[in-house]
Amino acid sequence: MNHFAPVALDVARIRQDFPILTQTVRGKPLVFLDSAASAQKPRAVIDAMVTAMETQYANVHRGLHWMSERTTEAYEATRDDVARLLNAADRAEIVFVRNSTEAINLVAYSYGRGVLKPGQAVLISAMEHHSNIVPWQMLRDERGIELRVAPITDAGELDMAAFELLLADGKVGLVAITHMSNVLGTYTPAARIVQIAHAHGAKVLLDGSQAVVHRRVDVQALGCDFYAFTGHKLYGPTGIGVLWARRELLEAMPPFMGGGDMISSVSYERSTWAAVPHKFEAGTPAILEGIGLGAAIHYVEAIGYDAIAAHEQALTEHAILRLSAIDGLTILGHAQDRGGVVSFTLANAHAHDVATLLDRSGIAVRAGHHCAEPLMHRFGIESTARASFAIYTTPAEIDFLADALVRVREFFA
């Protein structure tokens, strides 16, 4: 027996954990291929949130009563879950935010305005989501911090030579780059990026919104300085996300927002800040969502990243095989190291028309620019349709998509 073979993932059993997958859409079984936008929720997550509301709900951190203590324990346990998930050295390095967008904005605001200096630069790549472009543009326009963009190849991979060249003058203070593209499916070589960036004196923020869903992330092994992800793509609820950052960085950064929970003491003359991570968590947090995220992490860990990665790799290979056999269909990007996101264009059919026709067959895909307009322009297009895969996706669903796409092409021929 090959002991390297991961434990196979039992999709049929997993599908039973997701109540929504028994729904029909327009009289047809739901084929949900839009998990990269937001994933469906397992019963364990739904139950954790409902149980918390029904049995122990109160505000966290300040209560001196039983309900508040229980809720605080459950909410703070998620911080330990996240620290374990990312292999963080210290639970105080886990900052709860609303989503990846807020995590990146927090870094742009606190690190960008508090630590970076005018004349320094931030380096992103040509395959970023708008949420990893716009905060840096705002920083550039407000603080005179240059924004540089590392090009990608036609295959959809980071151009490493150009990347290194952009760091050569030593002005780049921060590299902010996706760990996995939401459009191309490309995994960036994160550990190598970190190595090169650090050699040139730059810190590295990885946008892990997609990557953390599909692969085990070890921030200490990667060596990065900031890591952002969001709960709702990881089978958890909306409204809860994570910024992980090295403790010394968090301690050097000024607060993001002011308010309750983030202070040590307040007077009209001056206030002092709470210790990290609470310094960055002003106001009542997303308590139930935090508890739900903890349940999602337990759920994913019980399946195991080896099994998840193997399952999604097989699905992606199957999808590329089936879709690329369709006349007139072009897959955007073909990186060597890629995950379960496949964007494509279909001759004579606009992505929106493709999505509407697929929807009539019960198939949910995304269509548009996927919040990555500059990336679309890089490939000379305005929009694509995108199918994305999850732990509950089956090869039969991909066959169903491919068969439907053949009919879509005929419809617009």
Q: Show which residues are catalytic.
A: 371
Interaction between residue 368 and other proteins (CB under 8 A)? yes
Q: How many CB atoms lie within 10 A of CB 268?
A: 5
Interaction between residue 357 and other proteins (CB under 8 A)? yes
Task: Please check whether residue 192 is in contact with residue 222, taking contact to mean a CB–CB distance below 8 angstroms.
Answer: no
Q: How far apart are CA 133 and CA 369, in angstroms?
A: 14
Judged by CB under 8 A, which of 15, 353, 394, 395 binds other proteins? Answer: 353
Q: Which stretch binds other proteins (CB under 8 A): 5-13, 188-196, 232-240, 375-383?
A: 375-383
The bridge status of strand 31-32 relative to strand 363-364 is parallel
Beta bridge partners of 366: 386
Interaction between residue 378 and other proteins (CB under 8 A)? no
Measured over the CA atoms of residue 53, residue 59, residue 63 and residue 69, the dihedral's sign is positive
Nearer to other proteins, 176 or 375 (CB): 375
Nearer to other proteins, 120 or 361 (CB): 361
Nearer to other proteins, 43 or 407 (CB): 407
Smallest separation, CB 353 to other proteins (Å): 5
Task: Please check whether residue 10 is in contact with residue 307, taking contact to mean a CB–CB distance below 8 angstroms.
Answer: no
Measured over the CA atoms of residue 188, residue 191, residue 194 and residue 200, the dihedral's sign is negative
Judged by CB under 8 A, which of 383, 385, 398, 405 binds other proteins? Answer: 383
Closest CA to 35 of 349, 394, 405, 335: 394
Interaction between residue 352 and other proteins (CB under 8 A)? yes
Nearer to other proteins, 73 or 382 (CB): 382
Total residues in contact with other proteins, by rule CB under 8 A: 23
Judged by CB under 8 A, which of 69, 80, 159, 373 binds other proteins? Answer: 373
Measured over the CA atoms of residue 273, residue 113, residue 232 and residue 175, the dihedral's sign is negative
Nearer to other proteins, 90 or 382 (CB): 382
The CA-based diameter of the chain, rounded to the nearest angstrom, is 72
Interaction between residue 43 and other proteins (CB under 8 A)? no
Q: Which stretch binds other proteins (CB under 8 A): 17-25, 66-74, 263-271, 342-350?
A: 342-350
Interaction between residue 374 and other proteins (CB under 8 A)? no
Q: Which stretch binds other proteins (CB under 8 A): 7-15, 170-178, 288-296, 360-368?
A: 360-368
Q: How far apart are CA 72 and CA 67, in angstroms?
A: 8
Interaction between residue 408 and other proteins (CB under 8 A)? yes
Nearer to other proteins, 212 or 365 (CB): 365
Interaction between residue 411 and other proteins (CB under 8 A)? yes
Q: Which stretch binds other proteins (CB under 8 A): 116-124, 326-334, 354-362, 387-395?
A: 354-362
Interaction between residue 261 and other proteins (CB under 8 A)? no
Nearer to other proteins, 126 or 376 (CB): 376
Smallest separation, CB 330 to other proteins (Å): 17
Nearer to other proteins, 79 or 366 (CB): 366
Q: How far, CA to CA in Å, does 291 sit from each of 14, 86, 200, 337? A: 21, 17, 40, 33
Tokens 């949420």 correspond to what residue?
A: 131
The bridge status of strand 341-346 relative to strand 329-331 is antiparallel
Judged by CB under 8 A, which of 1, 3, 13, 26 binds other proteins? Answer: 26
Q: Which stretch binds other proteins (CB under 8 A): 116-124, 147-155, 263-271, 362-370?
A: 362-370
Q: How many CB atoms lie within 10 A of CB 318?
A: 16
Judged by CB under 8 A, which of 43, 62, 84, 407 binds other proteins? Answer: 407
DSSP 305: H
Angle between helices 287-303 and 43-55 (to 10 degrees): 140
- Which tokens hold the place of 387? 């199918």
Q: How far apart are CA 190 and CA 212, in angstroms?
A: 13
Task: Please check whether residue 136 is in contact with residue 176, taking contact to mean a CB–CB distance below 8 angstroms.
Answer: yes
Q: Which stretch binds other proteins (CB under 8 A): 57-65, 155-163, 273-281, 352-360?
A: 352-360
353 burial (CB, 10 Å; 0-12 / 13-18 / 19+) is middle
Residues that bind other proteins (CB under 8 A): 26, 348-353, 356-357, 360-361, 367-369, 373, 376, 382-383, 407-408, 410-412
